[in-house]
Structure 1
Amino acid sequence: MIIPPEMLPDGVVLRLLSPDDAEALHAAYVANWKFLAPWEPHRPDSFFTVEGQAERIAERLAEFAERRVVPWVFESDGSIVGTITLTGLVLGPFRSASMGYWVAADRQRRGLAGAAVASACRTARDIVGLHRVEASTLLDNTASQRVLARNGFEPIGMAPRYLHINGEWRDHRLFQRILHDAPPPA
């Protein structure tokens, strides 16, 4: 699957994850771990090492080669300032995936998340061939809910104790965006 890079606001490039990103991704997670902690699952200590990131990248790229995941990074001047990922890609009659993303604390409120979500949805529709994309947010993550709403996502329900986030099972609001209504390819 060929997915070209795309320019986002503020001079940031949205591009596919690369094996060379381990050091930059490590630096991004270390710099943002306190900011991300309320929204993220608990991570083992190895996650916050270059080696741990290299291992995680290798796993993601293997899943990408199998068309199960599409992993992007937000890059600015050689630094990673966020990620967005389509996971759980299912083709056939379902043609769906889940989306997750984060943007660095010092890059908030610049339109990066919204532009990346729009780009990921175009890629999901035009390159991957998906019918829908789903996303979930913690109930109190109103900023992410606004990003999703501006990108055509509609609320579809609430999932009690949906994900283990920051040490406890947390309720999530569920969203989806229908990308098109064409039938799946034969």
Structure 2
Amino acid sequence: MTTLAGPPPRLDTRLPGVRLRVVQMADAEALAALYRENRDYLRPWEPERDDAYFTVEGQRDNLHDLVGAYATGEMWPGVVLVDGEMAGRITLNNILRGPLQSCFAGYWVARAHAGNGVATEALRQALDVAFGTLRLHRVEAFTRVDNHASQRVLERNGFTVVGTARRHIHLDGRWHDERLFECLAPWDDGIALVPPT
């Protein structure tokens, strides 16, 4: 008889000082400053943005859309805080209910916090939201095939590789292949649609 090994265990990093919260309209100024400081750093990984996006007004427009999508249950848009200071963004996008019960995770942390475990801890906390508060069954994430740091963040959180999507995203002036990762809820038994009460 063959048994399925299941996903690799999530590492319990518990990095002190890192926490998540849902975005607020009041975040516009801090986010605009963070995006401006990290504009060149994020360029290879983020969609092309016009100059307006990096202004307070541009972030107000963006936050208005995010808050609206959160209100309708389409996404969970968060900010990453380190010792109370804004350090990045993390979002559970395209929340699907019904027979899928899934979403996509997207995240970034400022250059000043890169390589310090902040993204790993932020994603760990986002998975707690996805599998706990939102009661989802599956979280997926794409990374460019050359984004090894992001792939390590996913692997440390129990994600496994599904495959590669050819020329999946247009970033930094050209199409790039991306690797698709998945993580199933810890309560997954192959049968239940939602976690047990």
If the length of structure 2 is used for normalisation, what is the TM-score?
Answer: 0.86
Shift of 1:76: 3.9
Match of 1:27 in 2: 33
User: Which residue, out of 168, 171, 193, partners 1:184?
Assistant: 193
Please state if 1:59 is matched with 2:68.
no
User: Which residue, out of 155, 164, 174, partners 1:168?
Assistant: 174
Shift of 1:122: 1.2
Structure 2: runs of 5+ lacking an equivalent: 1-13
TM superposition outliers: structure 1 runs of 4+ over 3 Å: 76-79
* CA distance in structure 1 between the partners assigned to 2:164 and 2:182 by the alignment: 12
User: Which residue, out of 34, 45, 54, partners 1:39?
Assistant: 45
RMSD: 1.4
Contact map agreement 2:164 2:178 (CA 8 A) in 1:
yes
* CA 77–125 in structure 1, closer or farther in 2 if over 3 Å, else same: closer
Shift of 1:63: 0.3
Contact map agreement 1:22 1:50 (CA 8 A) in 2:
yes
Contact map agreement 2:20 2:81 (CA 8 A) in 1:
yes
1:1-186 equivalent positions in 2, closer than 5 A = 9=15, 11-76=17-82, 79-179=85-185, 180-181=187-188, 183-185=192-194
If the length of structure 1 is used for normalisation, what is the TM-score?
Answer: 0.91
2:95 alignment partner, SS class: strand
Structure number with larger C-alpha Rg: 2
* CA distance in structure 2 between the partners assigned to 1:76 and 1:107 by the alignment: 9
Shift of 1:40: 1.0
Aligned length: 178
More helix by share: 1
1:120 alignment partner, SS class: helix
Q: Give the AA of the match of 2:32.
A: H
* CA 127–77 in structure 1, closer or farther in 2 if over 3 Å, else same: closer
